Structures are given as C-alpha cells and as structure tokens.
Chain A
Amino acid sequence: MADDKGDDAKIFLSIGVVWIVCTIGLSFTSMEMFGVREAWIVGFSFFLLVAAGIWRADSRGKKDSPPEQGTDSASEE
C-alpha cells in the first residue's frame, strides 16, 4: 500500500520521542533513581538510530531497485 511508505521509520521515531518525553518528565520529579535516566537515554538514542537506519535504507533501497510490499505470510519460494 502506497500510504504505508515510511511507516517503519516513523513508528520507531515516535517511540524514540515518547522515551524522550518520559526522560524529560522524570527530571521534573524529585526521585533519585539510579540508572533510570541513563537507561532511557540509551533507549531513545538507539530507537532514533534505528529509525535513521531504516529511513536511510528506505531512501537508498528505492533508488536501487523496484520495491516489494511486505506481507504477513511467510516468503514464498
């Protein structure tokens, strides 16, 4: 489906943004929580990295060859 283009990267990006909001929200509380902020920073950084990787792969893949639409069925041989 044409309107699904870029969904994979966008959803990963959205997850990263939610984790950023949670990390910022945590800083507004007075709780001393060892390792939580660091874990979430690693989390959203990695999700943004994966989103960028998918976006890059989408962009380069489109240039190189005709694309296919993924399906939930096992790949047919």
Chain B
Amino acid sequence: MAEQGDDSTIEHASGRFEASLSSLAEEDRRLLKAFVLVSIFTLGLGVLYALLLVLVKGGFLSLESTLAYTILTLHGTTVFYYWLYFVQVAVVMVFVLVYTDGVDELVWRNLAWAGFGLMSAGFLIDQIAPWMGAVITYTGLAPLSDGMPGADWFYVGYVLLGLGLLCVSIPCIATPIKAKLDGKVESWSSITFAATLWAALLTVTSFAALNVFGRTALWALEGGGPMDFDYMIAYHVMFHNMHYLPLLSTVLVWYALAEVTTGVKSIFSDRLSKVFFAFYLVVLPPTFLYHMFLDPTISALMKTVASTLAMFISIPTIMVFVIILVSLEASARVSEGRQGLFAWMRDLPWGNPAFSSIAAACVCAAAGGVLANILIQVKFAALLSDTFAIPAYFHFFTVGTISLTFIGLLMYVIPILYGRQLWNPKLMAQLPWALTVGVYLFGVSGIAAGYLGSPRRTLAPEYDLHASIPLLNALVGLGGIIMAIVLLLFVYGLVRTLRSGEEAGVGEVTANLPTVRWEPAEPGAVKAPTATIVMFVALAALFALTWLTFSMVGDLPG
C-alpha cells in the first residue's frame, strides 16, 4: 500500500491525478464544482423518486395510478437525462483538463457555463411539467402527450437540455485540439482521445435531440393534433446515442481509475486503446435498429439483420475490459506480491472505495451484458419489451454499472476539488458490494416477474396475473430499497465530504484512499491466465444463455 502523505505518493498515479486536478485554474474548478453539485443533487432526488416507486412495486405502499406515473416520469427524467449527463460532463471535463498535456484551462469556458445554465433550466422545467400533467415517462411519448397540460413545457425542458449539452460539448473538443494547435502535444493520450470522442458524439446527439424535441415542442405549443413526423423513430435515433454515451464514459472511468488506484495503465499501445474506444462509434449506427423490433413498418428480414448486427454492441466494452484486466494481472505478476492463479487479486486495493466501485460495476456489467445479448434477439425482445423484465435488466447497467462507476470517480474528484478527505472510506468501500446485492435482487426478481407477464410502466397490481408475481414484486421492492438506501448513503458521504471532510493539503487529500504500487509489465513479459479464464467463462456463459434463448423462442411464430 502507498505510504500516506509522504513524498512518494506524488510519484504514484493517484498523487499525480490529485496534483493535476488541484492545480487547475480557479475558474475551471468553479465550473467543475457546479456540475458536480448539481449532479449529486439530481442523483439524490432521482433516488428519492425511485424509493417511492419500489415501495409501491413491492406492495409496501399504495399510490394512486396517475401519481405513481408522475413519479415514474420524474424518476426516469431526473436520473437518465439529468444525473447521468451532469455527471458525465463533469467527468469528461476532468479527463480533458487532467490528461491532456499542455492544457492550462478550458477553452471557451463561458460557453460551458451557458451550457450549465441551459441544462439547469431544462432540469427545473422538467421537474415542474409532470406535476402540471405531462405524465409521459422520460421518453416523452408523442402523440400520446397530445392534450396533456404541461407537455409543451416538458419538451421545452428537453430542448434546453439539448442546447446545453451542445454548448458544453464544444469546449471539451476545442480544448485538446488547441493543445495540438499550440504545439504542446503531438499525440493525445488514449484518455484524452476517448474524452474527445465522447464529446464529439455528444455534439451529434445534441443535434438529434434538438431535431426531435424541437419539432415536438413546436407541435405541442401549437396545440397538438396529427403529427407530420414519426416521433418514435426520431426519438430512438437520439436515444440510442444517449444510452450508449454513458457506457463509453464508464469504461473510460474504469481505464483511468485502474491506473489511479494501482499505478497500472494499459500495457498495450495507446493506438490499440484508441481503436477500441473508437469502435464504440463504429458499431453505433448499425445497431440502432434493435430499438425498433416492435415497429410493424420494418420488415422481418431487416429485424433479423438488425438482431445479428446488434451482437456487435458489447464488443468494445469487452475489449476495453480485457485490456484493463490483462494489464492489471500482468503488472501484478511482475511486481512483488502473491502469484497464484487468483491470489494476485487479493493484492488489489479492495479498501479503496473507488476501486471497489469499479470492481462491483464490472460484476453488474457482466449480468447486464449477458442479458443484453439475449434481449436483442428479435423474437425474445417482442415477448419481453413491454414487461418489467426490461427495467429490471437495464438497472444492471444504469445503477450497478454506470452510476456506481461515476460515484467511484467522484470519490476522488470531490475531495480534490474541495481540499477535504473522503468521509469514512472504509464504509464507502463496502457500499458498492451492498449496492450490487440490491441490483442483483432487483434485476433477477424483476426479470422473472417480467417473464411471467408483469408489465412495465404501470405499478397497478391488478395487471400482475401470475400467482408468483406478488412474491417476486416483493423481492423487487426489497432489492430496490437496498439500492436506494445505498445510493442515499453515497450521496450523504459525498455531501459530508465537501461540507465537513477533514481539510488536507495538496498531496494529502487522497492519502486516506489505499492504493497499490505496481510496475506496468511489458507486453509478453508474463502470461495472464486469470484474464484468459475470466474471458472464457464470460463467453461460455454468453453462448450458453444465447443458446437457451434460441431454444425458448425457436417455436414461436415469426
């Protein structure tokens, strides 16, 4: 473990990250703090909405149907579009500023502030509109929203969000390009490259969001009626990017935190990492159609082609995971420490809450990834798309993988920005595993309930016809309560840190977060059998469950 507070910690990746982030221009620190604070607020609020929903789903509380649907709309909107995007912007700005050589400050900072203002205004409007009557879930279904009071404001909120994201994405691209223009860096680090890639995709996605929500806002402001465009397709081409962006930024955080907590970065070339990160954008367009499996206007042939192409969706995540795992194992084996097949893993910094977060996130991503490959089978998707199996499945990603990963990075970013040590790191290191228990309980029970016919987008128990569903719903509720309590504890810990954490000087702030100091191995210097076994088991599970899926749907009509 790293010595706490001595000069040697500065030589460790953790110390370098701290030194670099704490030396940012005060104006950039203020901007980052704004994004971080609002992201924590949106997370806390979204989790409170979720707590109400799981209490109802579990049968522990009763809510009138429209009120429950209002809360559901608020929950989805708050956590998916606002928590995930406020925190991602903060994460990407941190990466651009910290990992780009020669960058002193964010280029066009005022534009980023304008983006922050627009996103915040969108958030406020989208908090009010559902209470006015726009109870249309976070997808903002149109023309279902026709005639709903507040629907026009709901879309206006999303338009402001789209404009805000456009404004913040441009400085994140311009800043690393300016470093090249000034001759301060020739080739970006793979982290800077991936952050720029993310920002470029966000720019493109913002235009798609403005297209769909701008048109729909105008339609709603003009009184609704027949629509002259297909909302669902225009929405899904935007949403496909919107739900893929967090995955890209998540693996980027894994990549960075693995180095910060162990000193090990990829042992392979930067070029290889860049190609794998770029692969996210390569597979993006051809996989879009899996959102449209229930659309009757798309031919069965195209749906089959889409189902096949959708298999590519998990490849970049798997490849980046392999890079990280092999790099860690090889570096552990060339460093002094345990050498058994799995024994080296005991030397990982499990007491570091950020490391625990990304490790637990990988455990949740494994379940989410396997289930995703099943659900993109066209026949199975048709069976389950409107059941509770879908929200049960995607919480493996949205909560267990993505949100947990971002919280892990905040455990470094918040202490450094505020010059205060993280509150109770021992407890914070255990919370990711408690969250994982909650996610698995919620996910597995919910998928079983969905398979038996429990519908999504309603909490009314009269639709749950199978005798086993009430028990499964109670387990869903229990898992959801665990998730909510853990997430609220995370929020409490982060707020406690920034308000009253122990003050520490530069080089001392992250000293209470244990790290290991491994020397990066040379490629080919040592074998990595654990990584090979893990990948073999993961792929075997994937093939076995896919085969099981095919056997279950094989006799269904096309």
Chain A positions within 8 Å of B, measured between CB atoms, are: 1, 3-5, 7-8, 11-12, 14-15, 18-19, 22-23, 29-36, 38-40, 42-43, 46-47, 50, 53-54, 56-58, 60-77
Contact = CB atoms under 8 A, between A and B. Distances in A.
A74 B178 CA distance: 18
Interface string B262-278: 00011001110111001
A36 B233 contact: yes
Contacts of B297: 31-32
Contact of B182 (A19, A31, A36, A64): A64
Interface in B332-351: none
Contact of B237 (A39, A46, A56): A39
27 contacts: A1-B269, A7-B271, A8-B196, A11-B275, A12-B197, A12-B278, A18-B281, A29-B302, A31-B298, A34-B234, A47-B200, A50-B196, A53-B173, A66-B183, A67-B184, A69-B187, A70-B270, A71-B101, A71-B189, A72-B256, A72-B266, A72-B273, A74-B13, A74-B21, A74-B98, A75-B20, A75-B101
Contact of A70 (B183, B189, B207, B230): B189
Contacts of A1: 187, 269-271
Interface string B5-27: 00000000100110111010000
Given A31-B298, A39-B237, A67 B275 contact: no
Given A1-B269, A72-B99, A34 B229 contact: yes
Interface in B471-528: none
A4 B177 contact: no
A22 B302 CA distance: 14
A53 B196 CA distance: 12
Given A29-B302, A40-B285, A68-B101, A74 B187 contact: no
A75 B103 contact: yes
Contacts of B103: 75
A61 B178 CA distance: 9
A62 B183 contact: yes
B200 A50 contact: yes
Looking at B265, B270, B274, the one whose CB has the most chain A CB atoms below 10 A away is B270
A70 B187 CA distance: 6
B381 interface: no
B192 interface: yes
Interface string B76-98: 00000000000000000000001
B19 A77 contact: yes
A8 B274 contact: yes
Contacts of B401: none
B180 A57 contact: yes
A50 B180 contact: no
Contact of B233 (A35, A40, A47, A70): A35
A74 B99 contact: yes
Given A19-B285, A70-B192, A77-B20, 9 more contacts: A4-B187, A11-B278, A14-B282, A57-B178, A61-B184, A65-B184, A74-B98, A75-B102, A77-B23
Contact of B278 (A14, A53, A75): A14
B373 interface: no
Contacts of B191: 72
Interface in B163-219: 173, 177-178, 180-193, 196-197, 200, 203-204, 207-208, 211-212
A18 B20 contact: no
Q: Which of A31, A40, A70 has the most CB of B within 10 A?
A: A70
Contacts of B186: 5, 58, 61-62, 67-70
Contacts of A61: 180-186
Nearest to A43: B204
A46 B447 CA distance: 39
B270 A4 contact: yes
Contacts of A39: 204, 207-208, 211, 237-238
A74 B97 CA distance: 9
B185 A70 contact: yes
A60 B100 contact: no
Nearest to A72: B265
Nearest to A14: B278
B143 interface: no
Residue from the set B100, B101, B212 with the largest chain A CB neighbour count within 10 Å: B101
Contacts of A60: 181, 183
Tell which of A1, A8, A29, A53 has the most Cβ of chain B within 10 Å.
Answer: A8
A22 B285 contact: yes
B259 interface: yes
A64 to B, nearest CB: 4
Contacts of B21: 74
A38 B212 CA distance: 11
Contacts of A68: 101-102, 184-186
Interface string B239-275: 0000000000000000110011000011001110111
B388 interface: no
A17 to B, nearest CB: 10
B183 A76 contact: no
Given A7-B271, A35-B212, A62-B186, A46 B204 contact: yes
Given A15-B278, A72-B191, A50 B173 contact: yes
A71 to B, nearest CB: 5
A35 B23 contact: no
Most buried by B among A14, A31, A43: A43
